[in-house]
Amino acid sequence: MAAPRPPPGKLAGTARVGEKGQIVIPKDIRDMFGISPDNTLLLLADFGKGIAVLPKEMAVDLVETVLGESPAATFDNRGEANGPG
């Protein structure tokens, strides 16, 4: 019996953490989000809820929505967060 197919736009996968803390995002998930080598991803962590991984473009949209700031004010040209700290 074949495993049930997820609804359109939904996928689940697993990733093993390597010795250097690296993970490999499953290919079907990379394809779904257009993630390729050298893309910048944002990791959000909440002790009670877990870890979320967002492509930079989604992260910029999120920052703009939540903070009402221009993406340029929040991320530098390498996709790293600017600001205090």
Residue 3 placed within a domain = no
In a domain, 67, yes or no: yes
**pTM for this prediction:** 0.60
Q: Does residue 74 belong to any structural domain of this protein?
A: yes
pLDDT bracket for residue 85 (50, 70, 90): very low
**What sign results for the dihedral spanned by CA atoms 23, 5, 34, 43?**
negative
With beta carbons less than 8 A apart as the criterion, state whether 61 and 44 touch. no
Q: What are the tens digits of pLDDT across the range 23-77?
A: 999 999 999 889 999 988 888 889 999 988 888 777 777 777 877 766 555 555 5
pLDDT in tens, 2-28: 777 878 888 888 889 999 999 999 999
Is 32 among the domain residues? Answer: no
Q: Tell whether 1 is covered by a domain.
A: no
What is the C-alpha separation between 67 and 32, in angstroms, rounded?
A: 27
